[in-house]
Amino acid sequence: MTTFSTAPSASERRNLYTPHKMRIVKATDEAPGVRTFQLQFVDSEVGARFSFEAGQFGEYSVYGEGESTFCIASSPTRTGYIECTFRQAGRVTSALADRQEGDIIGFRGPYGNTFPVERWEGKNVLFIAGGIALPPVRCVIWNVLDLRDRYRDVSIIYGARTVADLVYKHELAEWDQRSDVNLWVTVDPGGQTPEWTGKVGFVPAIVEEVRPRPADTIAVLCGPPIMIKLTLPVLAKLGFAPEQIYTTLENRMKCGVGKCGRCNVGKVFVCKDGPVFTLAQLNELPPEY
Ligand SMILES: Cc1cc2nc3c(=O)[nH]c(=O)nc-3n(C[C@H](O)[C@H](O)[C@H](O)COP(=O)(O)OP(=O)(O)OC[C@H]3O[C@@H](n4cnc5c(N)ncnc54)[C@H](O)[C@@H]3O)c2cc1C
Ligand code: FES
């Protein structure tokens, strides 16, 4: 007689909300109040099974404080670790900011949809980011640069309020040195230092000045709402169609997996259907958005 075990497997026993333990192997201060953690799974078997794609996010937790949602800021082409970059905003991010190399934090994920980088192969890719919104874009930038021969021109326009507020300063310098990347870094008027040799001006003005060509180009646009609002008309004027423009939303989240209803806009769950959307998709969302 054949017998079937009805005992749940280890993965079935695992509660959806139970975080995995991750060790902070490297902590980097990027800018005032902004830190990057490089994280490795404490359980190496979990680490070996883990995979994600550009655009996905996770829930990062500190015991006794709660969870915060951050994108995975490292590229899926680089395995064995993930990175997140966060700004100290409130309770959980302050507790995270106090953690040091060697400390353990919690992680659930990866969640959400992805940037369709494979569909973009053979095209130009234009990245436009402002302030602390570079982390979700950085993930895709490295993904594209690690597979550089699959894409045509790669251009990056990045702005921050001041020179001190620029994140990933070493990587900006590295991209600046590369002959296969066009990079413009700008700071808001008044945010420059005497040594600053980059641009001065708001991101939409720099996009207008650079005049990227829309033909065969995908634009990835992430930044504060005012930057997005003022950059979209510039892209439209240059001839970019809503289907060519991608962004990632940061609606407040709780579960991250489509169960709590915290993040939805109409019938769309940003945590499951997003966070990556084209402008054409956002234009279809209910007017309250
Ligand atoms: C998909 C997604 C990806 C994100 N990626 C990043 C990232 O890579 N790096 C990063 O620094 N932040 C990111 N965020 C925002 C981040 O989740 C919040 O800043 C963080 O959870 C605040 O937690 P807290 O407990 O410290 O703050 P709280 O004590 O909860 O709040 C402090 C302040 O932050 C505001 N706040 C909290 N959450 C958000 C939010 N989602 N959007 C706007 N304001 C908010 C609150 O209104 C309040 O004013 C992301 C959010 C989402 C949904
Ligand atoms: S965060 Fe719970 S449904 Fe999206």
User: What are the domain boundaries of the chain?
Assistant: 18-111, 124-248
Task: From 83, 86, 251, give the residue whose CB has the most ligand 1 atoms within 8 Å, as the site to mutate.
Answer: 86
- Answer with the residue of higher pLDDT: 71 or 10: 71
SS3 at position 187: strand
Determine the Cα–Cα distance for residues 236 and 242; give it in Å rounded to an integer.
8
Residue 15, pLDDT score: 85
Name the CATH topology of 124-248.
Rossmann fold (3.40.50)
DSSP 66-134: EEEEEE--S-TTS-S-EEEEEE--SHHHHHHHT--TT-EEEEEEEES----TTTTTTSEEEEEEEGGGH
Determine the Cα–Cα distance for residues 253 and 221; give it in Å rounded to an integer.
21
Q: Is 219 in the pocket of ligand 1 (CB under 6 A)?
A: no
Determine the Cα–Cα distance for residues 11 and 150; give it in Å rounded to an integer.
37
Two tokens, residue 35: 């830190």
Per residue in 203-231, pLDDT (tens digit) is: 999 999 999 999 999 999 999 999 999 99
Domains 18-111 and 124-248 alike in fold: no
Which protein residues touch ligand 2 with a CB less than 6 Å away?
Answer: 253-256, 258-263, 269, 271
pLDDT at residue 144 above 90? yes
Determine the Cα–Cα distance for residues 189 and 204; give it in Å rounded to an integer.
13
**C-alpha distances in Å from residue 249, one per residue of 120, 188, 282:** 20, 23, 10
Cβ contacts of 259 within 8 Å, gap of 6 or more: none
Give the Å distance between the CA of 48 and the centre of ligand 1.
29
SS3 at position 246: strand
Q: How confident is the model at residue 14 (pLDDT cuts 50, 70, 90)?
A: confident
CATH class of 18-111: mainly beta
Vertex 121 angle, CA 74 and 282, to 5°: 70
Determine which residue's CA is closest to atom 1 belonging to ligand 1.
250
Put simply, whether the predicted model's pTM sits higher than 0.85 gets the answer: yes
Report which bound ligand comes closest to the CA of 224.
1
Determine the Cα–Cα distance for residues 278 and 289; give it in Å rounded to an integer.
14
Neighbours of 180 (CB within 10 A): 11
Residue 37, pLDDT score: 98
Kindly give the number of the ligand 2 atom that is closest to the alpha carbon of 253.
Answer: 1
Determine the Cα–Cα distance for residues 277 and 243; give it in Å rounded to an integer.
9
Determine which residue's CA is closest to atom 45 belonging to ligand 1.
252
Determine the Cα–Cα distance for residues 73 and 140; give it in Å rounded to an integer.
9
Q: Is 135 in the pocket of ligand 1 (CB under 6 A)?
A: yes
Determine which residue's CA is closest to atom 17 belonging to ligand 1.
69
Give the Å distance between the CA of 211 and the centre of ligand 2.
38
